[in-house]
Amino acid sequence: MKVSILQFPGTNCEFDTQYAFEKLGCETQIVWHKAESLPQDTDLLVVAGGFSYGDYLRSGAIAKFSPVMKAVAKYANDGGKVLGICNGFQVLTEARLLPGALKRNEGLHFISKHHHLRVENNDNIFLEKLNNGDVVNIPIAHHDGNYYIDEAGLAELEANGQILLRYTDADGEISNPNGSVSAIAGVCNKEKNVFGLMPHPERAMEAVLGSDDGVAMLQGFVESC
């Protein structure tokens, strides 16, 4: 399986993402944002985390106009599988490939810690290896992770099973670190081929580093390709 990982100026999670997918047996390639096409046979495109363009204007706002993003939109619209992690999630919402937007955390602080997440919908290639209600322990590291969507949009997400993950405590009870609407940590598009989440599964690949729950999460993509 071939994973292409996007790199903008200011991206800083591309090598962790590469490590994670190589550990799962994938071939990986880092793609600079000036590329006008994606590597052929890309099975999964990952928009990695970081601070593309220094988060200037809004997180992800400038990155959406990088040359590669036209190819990303085409790839996604043709049914290609896309995963945005953290800043990658912000880029995908700015590019309108995912619904909603990410605002400044409600408490205004940058939050960097492990947090529990509950699987809400596993009826998709990303989370199919997990069960609904499963709780995973995954690091979060963001300043603008406060997911916003209006009421009509939220109802649509609920109805279509597009809410992937919610922030909880270890027992699976809602615990919202950043003010996200309905404690949402990750969503997918209606077609279920574009996924975004603020937490970092690629940083939870080794038990010795605190958690390897990211393995079960990212494994879904590997098995499905």
Q: Judged by CB under 8 A, does residue 143 bind other proteins?
A: no
Interior angle at CA 181, CA 114 and CA 62, nearest 5: 80
DSSP state string for 103-153: EPPTT-S-EEEEEEEEE----STTTTTS-TT-EEEEEEEESS-EEE--HHH
First to last CA, the chain: 6
Q: Judged by CB under 8 A, does residue 110 bind other proteins?
A: no
Positions marked active-site: 86, 200, 202
Q: Which of 124, 141, 148, 172 binds other proteins (CB under 8 A)?
A: 148
The minimum distance between CB 179 and other proteins, in angstroms, equals 7
Q: Which of 17, 28, 105, 122 binds other proteins (CB under 8 A)?
A: 105
- In this chain, which stretch among 21-29, 134-142, 145-153, 203-211 interacts with other proteins, using CB under 8 A? 145-153
- In this chain, which stretch among 10-18, 42-50, 68-76, 103-111 interacts with other proteins, using CB under 8 A? 103-111
Q: Judged by CB under 8 A, does residue 55 bind other proteins?
A: no
Is the distance from CB of 81 to CB of 38 less than 8 angstroms?
no
Whole-number Å distance between alpha carbons of 177 and 22 = 31
The minimum distance between CB 101 and other proteins, in angstroms, equals 4
Whole-number Å distance between alpha carbons of 166 and 173 = 9
Is the distance from CB of 5 to CB of 40 less than 8 angstroms?
no
- In this chain, which stretch among 22-30, 44-52, 96-104, 210-218 interacts with other proteins, using CB under 8 A? 96-104
The minimum distance between CB 102 and other proteins, in angstroms, equals 9
Residue 106 or 191: the one with the smaller Cβ distance to other proteins is 106
Give strand pairing partners of 140.
113
Q: Judged by CB under 8 A, does residue 93 bind other proteins?
A: yes
The residue length of the chain stands at 225
Q: What are the residues binding other proteins (CB under 8 A)?
A: 57-58, 61, 65, 93-94, 100-101, 103-108, 146, 148-149, 179
